Chains A and B, each alone.
Chain A
Amino acid sequence: MSTEDDKRSPQRRALADAMRPKLERIGRRGLLRGGFSLGALTMLSGCNLADGDTVDRILLAMSRFNDRVQALLFSGHALAPTYAEDRITRPFPYNAFYPIDNAPDLDAADWKLEVSGLVADRTPWTVERLRALPQESQITRLICVEGWSAIGQWGGVPLRTFLERVGADTRARYVGFKCADRYYGSIDMASALQPQTILALDFEKKPLPSGFGYPLRLRIPTKLGFKNPKFITALFVTNDYPGGYWEDQGYNWFSGS
Chain B
Amino acid sequence: MDDARGRERVVVHPAIVRLTHWINAAAIVMMVMSGWQIYDASPLLPFTFPGWAVLGGWLGGGIAWHLAAMWLLVGNGLLYVVYGVASRHFAHAFLPLTPRGVWRDLRRALTFQLPHKAGRYNAVQRLLYVVVLLLGIAAVLSGLGLWKPVQLSWIGAPIGGYPTLRWVHFFAMTGIVGFVAIHLLLVALVPRTLPAMITGRARIPATETGA
Contacts and interface: CB of A to CB of B under 8 A. Distances in A.
Given A78-B150, A251-B60, A148 B65 contact: no
A90 interface: no
Contacts of B96: none
Contacts of B59: 1, 19, 145-146
Given A66-B67, A252-B63, A45 B57 contact: yes
A198 B56 CA distance: 34
Interface residues of A, number: 44
B64 interface: yes
A43 B59 CA distance: 10
A45 B42 contact: no
B98 interface: no
Contacts of B43: 12, 15
Nearest to B156: A81
Nearest to A148: B42
Interface stretch (B14-22, B111-119, B161-169, B203-211): B161-169
A146 B44 CA distance: 11
A252 to B, nearest CB: 7
B39 A147 contact: yes
Contacts, number: 112
Contact of A43 (B60, B67, B152): B60
Contacts of B62: 46
A130 interface: no
Given A80-B150, A141-B162, A46 B38 contact: no
Q: Give the contact-size bracket for chain B.
A: 35 or more
Contacts of B151: 73-75, 78, 256-257
B60 A11 contact: no
Given A1-B41, A12-B42, A221 B150 contact: yes
12 contacts: A12-B42, A19-B59, A44-B61, A46-B37, A46-B56, A47-B55, A47-B57, A62-B67, A73-B148, A81-B149, A81-B157, A246-B60
B41 A44 contact: no
Interface string A36-70: 00000001111100000000001110110010001
A58 B59 CA distance: 17
Contact of B42 (A23, A43, A44, A144): A144
B68 A59 contact: yes
A103 interface: no
A143 interface: yes
Contacts of B42: 12, 144, 146-148
A29 B46 CA distance: 31
B162 A44 contact: no
A11 B157 CA distance: 30
Interface string A217-245: 00001100000000000000000000000
B67 A63 contact: yes
B174 interface: no
A256 B150 CA distance: 9
Interface string B71-110: 1000000000000000000000000000000000000000
